[in-house]
Structure 1
Amino acid sequence: MPFIENKTYDEIAIGDSAQLVRRLTLRDIEMFAVLSGDVNPAHLDLEYAKHTVFGDLIGHGMWGAALISTVLGTQLPGPGTIYRSQTLSFSRPVKIGDRLTVKVVVARKDPEKKRIGLDCTAVNESGETVISGTAEVVAPTVKVKRPPAELPTVRLEHRRPRLQRLLDLAADPAPVRAAVVNPIDADALDLALRAAEAGLLKPVLVGRAAVIRRVAADAGLDIAPFDLVQADDEPAAIDAAFALARAGKVEAIVNGSVPEDELIAAAAGTFAGHGALSQVMVMDVPTYPRPLLITDTGVHVAPTLTVKRDIVQNAIDLALAIGIACPRVALLSAGEMVTPRVPSTLDAAQLCKMAERCQIVGGQLDGPLSFETAVNEAAARAKGLTSPVAGNADILVVPNLEAGDMLAMELRHLADAQAAGILLGARVPIVPAGSAETVPSRLVSCALALLVVQARARAG
């Protein structure tokens, strides 16, 4: 086992030296910014940095200074050292990939105060000095030899870049007219207002007009630009919204504040579209390298094979709409072997055959797969799976609603994932209520609706 061992004042001689070598990475820059709060765009914003005198991202100057502290605290003099002062001159920038050799050399000793003066330098691999200066420390007088502390693993997360990308994708197309069903609370009206401001939707508010106006006034929300369609109660609001969609007056429906099951029942029973209705969650999981679509999470408790075909096709269509070319679809079960004892494995095998016969189009299917082999390449290789889907899934198709709901909730609450959701299979996309979702996530759901409408328009 390695140890950290110091040199006491009496053991140190003038001319003694110690050094470390470290290469600057983007992760180092980001970590230092998180710890220090220094978010100068010269360090973090590549577009800005390109137009500076440096022409690229540069490391924080104090990152190099921290490396000097590392040498002093762990090597020379080492544990027990008290840092007294430091003077530094920064002569060159340090860019990502630069390899620094940081060195300290004992220049003087003060026997009365047990202080050591050291010359400090940091030199890049081209031999250019980037940092120079001096340090003064109080050297330890007691010998210390200890194993190094075990540091925690640190993971840097760039919050929600994938969901933001969906908003960016939806920025250019014209907003779609959307019926907001029974928006009689401030949250529903606020969502409509924000979606309009973001250029995603042109809201048509459907419900009790007097109540909607009063709620808006109490919340200080300006709904004057929005069309308002009178409906006396929740069922009437649902009927009116679907009537607007059937007449081609709206291209999407947003649940304002009606029970989700009532909206789904009305959509499935009176507003049939291209196939079975299903809910798709688009999830940003910090530990997964791409957006992850999970379906069905909100409609079918125990879907039949025919319904599963529609569920898969709906998810593929959404993936294509958000820019995932030839999405990889993993049909989940408890394992990878097809067996009559687990009916979902039979369904998975049949769905794969349906895709071979072009009954499902636009994606690559594989299954049955366990969750592990669907999202983990090493696990897939260990089991001898070589398909393009195994370990790299874009879409996870669950065997039933309970599995889908639990998987989505586990990712949200245990893996800190964020999600947006949409109901597909009807004549127009439907944005669900999403009671546990934040307003930014629901805005992404509105963006999904817009992207689906645009994709259908392109397809004719």
Structure 2
Amino acid sequence: MILESRIWDEVEVGQSAELKRLCTADDFYVFAAASGNLNPVHLEAEDGDGDGQKEAYAPGMFVASLITAVLGNLLPGPGTLYRSQSLRFHDRASAGEELCARVEVIEKLEGGKLRLKTEVTRISDGALIVEGEAEVFAPKRHLKFDALEVPGLISQRHRHFEKLLEAAEPLPDLVTAVVCPEEPVSLDGAILAAEHRLIEPLLIGQPDRIMAAARELGRDVTRFEILPAETARDAARMAVQLVNEGRAGAVMKGHLHTDTLLKPMLDKNTGLRIGKRFTHVFVMDVPGVVHPLIVTDAAINIAPDLETKVHIVQNAIDVAISIGIEVPKVGVLSAVETVTPAIPSSLDAALLSKMAERGQIRGGEVDGPLAMDNAVDLAAARTKGIRSNVAGRAEVLVAPGIDSANMLAKQLAYISHAEGAGLMLGAKVPVILNSRSDSPMARLASCAVASIHYHRLLGECP
């Protein structure tokens, strides 16, 4: 879009211009971040006035700013400077409504100034939202500006995780064996999830260390059951025992090594095996992506063979269904999107795709090999001539091995500002694997996914 200015001599009384704008909840979050106005009545996720409804009313000055867009873009255009603006508000606008901002020149003043009538109306019913008058300095010279030079913005909200929390909080608290929450970060994650009614934690470890961590946090843990265990190995074994006795429906990793946590789970006689390989998923909330994105396996299986990849894919499909993806689209990644004998991952991808077609993998659509670009970008898939329901639309990304999966997940987290909920699947119960660097939202989301998945498998939620 090329913007051109009009100098004072070129403007005539009666000239008008208008712009239309669809208001979104993301607009209001961006405005809140830029202006510092964090009034909750303007934010979609909040009930700002206590009426039980989440508002997302447009901030008044956001609506008024649409007038400035007309002045600065169209009439008089680039180079315009404000002298004054009066505003009278008549109604409220909300997210999802389309507004029209209009200005009309009503007087040419000395000194290169213009007086304009300004208004913003709602298109659906013509309601007047705000009106007033502006006095501006017209541009002193002709300017031409390419609007494409202004970078776009992605609102760094995690709406998918917010929806998962909403889905999980009405479910019964998931009794969770928390193994070695003996330092502040891991203990705080368990307490936070309990406060959100996601889990009922059973704290396993050395009581004095757990209490010391609680004091450091300034938290009260006396309302939780603390089960003494002298060592991390003892705590991990106790967690497995609690699951086998039916006292716990999930396990959460605390301050111990993952291999120490998993060793008793893998015991052939007393462990948590159910005939599946243990696999890991990151359920990721990536800003700008319209659905949750599942990345697997980034933590458990180092160089999975074809048989292990079958379990990786099936476990990922199962959890994707639990979080509301009816028929998950699974993209099996490789360096190329063609079957290439010199690239083993492309052969595995093709075999997994065929196995799903034959019903050996159930519940989702599987396609591969796909390169990363044509797995997630429809235009890239079409450019390469790939026609499938998965290409460009993948909701599950299956990486060739742990190194590529881990790098992909961390790239999404640290460059694309995603949050990741980490779970181990394939055991009798979900195993929540949080990292020390996880944000509170990621920790809550891990518990939410575990709860939703557990209760769906029990038939207690859709």
Shorter-chain TM-score tier: 0.7 to 0.9
CA 1:309 to 1:91, structure 2 compared with 1: closer, same or farther past 3 Å?
closer
- TM-aligned CA deviation for residue 246 of structure 1: 2.0
- TM-aligned CA deviation for residue 67 of structure 1: 5.1
* 1:67-90, Cα deviation, whole Å (9 max, x unpaired): 555565566666776543344444
Give the structure 1 partner of residue 395 of structure 2: 394
Q: Is the 8 Å Cα contact of residues 378 and 391 (structure 1) preserved in structure 2?
A: yes
Secondary structure of the residue that 1:104 maps to in structure 2?
strand
CA distance in 2, matches of 1:57, 1:168: 17
Residue type at the aligned position of 1:146: L
Q: Which of 300-309 and 221-230 deviates more?
A: 221-230
Give the structure 1 partner of residue 84 of structure 2: 85
Residue type at the aligned position of 1:170: A
TM-score by length of structure 2 reads: 0.85
Secondary structure of the residue that 2:98 maps to in structure 1?
coil
Q: 1:26 aligns with which of 5, 11, 23?
A: 23
CA 1:296 to 1:340, structure 2 compared with 1: closer, same or farther past 3 Å?
same
* 1:32-56, Cα deviation, whole Å (9 max, x unpaired): 555444566676559989x99xxx9
CA distance in 2, matches of 1:24, 1:40: 22
CA distance in 1, matches of 2:130, 2:211: 64
What does 1:1-400 align with in structure 2 at a 5 Å threshold?
Answer: 4-8=4-8, 11=9, 16-27=13-24, 30=28, 32-38=31-37, 45=44, 61-63=60-62, 65-66=64-65, 68-69=67-68, 83-90=82-89, 96-106=97-107, 109-110=109-110, 114=111, 116=113, 118-122=115-119, 133-137=132-136, 143-148=140-145, 151-157=149-155, 159-270=157-268, 271=271, 272-400=273-401
- TM-aligned CA deviation for residue 119 of structure 1: 4.2
Give the structure 2 partner of residue 424 of structure 1: 425
Q: Which of 441-450 and 276-285 deviates more?
A: 441-450
Give the structure 1 partner of residue 455 of structure 2: 454
Q: Which of 187-196 and 409-418 deviates more?
A: 187-196
Secondary structure of the residue that 2:458 maps to in structure 1?
helix
- TM-aligned CA deviation for residue 19 of structure 1: 2.6
CA distance in 2, matches of 1:281, 1:336: 23
Q: Is the 8 Å Cα contact of residues 185 and 436 (structure 2) preserved in structure 1?
A: no
Secondary structure of the residue that 2:222 maps to in structure 1?
coil
CA 1:102 to 1:241, structure 2 compared with 1: closer, same or farther past 3 Å?
same
- TM-aligned CA deviation for residue 18 of structure 1: 3.7
Q: Is the 8 Å Cα contact of residues 71 and 104 (structure 1) preserved in structure 2?
A: no
* 1:197-244, Cα deviation, whole Å (9 max, x unpaired): 222222112122233233334433222222222221111111121122
- TM-aligned CA deviation for residue 384 of structure 1: 2.0
Residue type at the aligned position of 2:16: Q
CA 1:396 to 1:129, structure 2 compared with 1: closer, same or farther past 3 Å?
closer
- TM-aligned CA deviation for residue 356 of structure 1: 2.7
Q: Which of 373-382 and 15-24 deviates more?
A: 15-24
Q: Is the 8 Å Cα contact of residues 268 and 276 (structure 1) preserved in structure 2?
A: no
Secondary structure of the residue that 2:243 maps to in structure 1?
helix
- TM-aligned CA deviation for residue 105 of structure 1: 2.5
CA distance in 2, matches of 1:451, 1:129: 45
Identity, in percent, stands at 36
CA distance in 1, matches of 2:168, 2:132: 52
Structure 1, unmatched stretches of 5+, are: none
Secondary structure of the residue that 1:458 maps to in structure 2?
coil
Q: Is the 8 Å Cα contact of residues 103 and 116 (structure 2) preserved in structure 1?
A: no
CA 1:191 to 1:81, structure 2 compared with 1: closer, same or farther past 3 Å?
closer
CA distance in 2, matches of 1:458, 1:129: 50
CA distance in 2, matches of 1:188, 1:316: 28
**Quick check: which has more Rg, 1 or 2?**
1
CA 1:303 to 1:47, structure 2 compared with 1: closer, same or farther past 3 Å?
closer
Secondary structure of the residue that 2:145 maps to in structure 1?
coil
Q: Which of 169-178 and 218-227 deviates more?
A: 218-227
CA distance in 2, matches of 1:76, 1:311: 58
CA distance in 1, matches of 2:45, 2:260: 49
Q: Is the 8 Å Cα contact of residues 399 and 405 (structure 2) preserved in structure 1?
A: yes
Structure 2, unmatched stretches of 5+, are: none
Q: Is the 8 Å Cα contact of residues 115 and 136 (structure 1) preserved in structure 2?
A: no
Q: Is the 8 Å Cα contact of residues 330 and 396 (structure 1) preserved in structure 2?
A: yes
TM-score by length of structure 1 reads: 0.86
CA 1:57 to 1:347, structure 2 compared with 1: closer, same or farther past 3 Å?
closer
Secondary structure of the residue that 1:308 maps to in structure 2?
helix
- TM-aligned CA deviation for residue 127 of structure 1: 8.2
CA 1:83 to 1:407, structure 2 compared with 1: closer, same or farther past 3 Å?
closer
Secondary structure of the residue that 2:345 maps to in structure 1?
helix
Q: Is the 8 Å Cα contact of residues 286 and 292 (structure 2) preserved in structure 1?
A: yes
CA 1:295 to 1:190, structure 2 compared with 1: closer, same or farther past 3 Å?
same
CA distance in 2, matches of 1:233, 1:328: 43
* 1:143-167, Cα deviation, whole Å (9 max, x unpaired): 5223326542222415111112111
Q: Is the 8 Å Cα contact of residues 257 and 433 (structure 1) preserved in structure 2?
A: no
Secondary structure of the residue that 2:213 maps to in structure 1?
helix
**Does residue 1:411 correspond to 2:412, yes or no?**
yes
Q: Is the 8 Å Cα contact of residues 5 and 77 (structure 2) preserved in structure 1?
A: yes
CA distance in 1, matches of 2:324, 2:128: 47
Q: Is the 8 Å Cα contact of residues 81 and 137 (structure 2) preserved in structure 1?
A: yes
Aligned residues: 448
Q: Is the 8 Å Cα contact of residues 295 and 397 (structure 1) preserved in structure 2?
A: yes
Q: Is the 8 Å Cα contact of residues 101 and 119 (structure 2) preserved in structure 1?
A: yes
- TM-aligned CA deviation for residue 180 of structure 1: 1.0
Q: Which of 57-66 and 173-182 deviates more?
A: 57-66
Residue type at the aligned position of 2:115: L
- TM-aligned CA deviation for residue 184 of structure 1: 1.1
- TM-aligned CA deviation for residue 380 of structure 1: 1.2
The alignment's C-alpha RMSD in Å is 3.4
Secondary structure of the residue that 1:24 maps to in structure 2?
strand
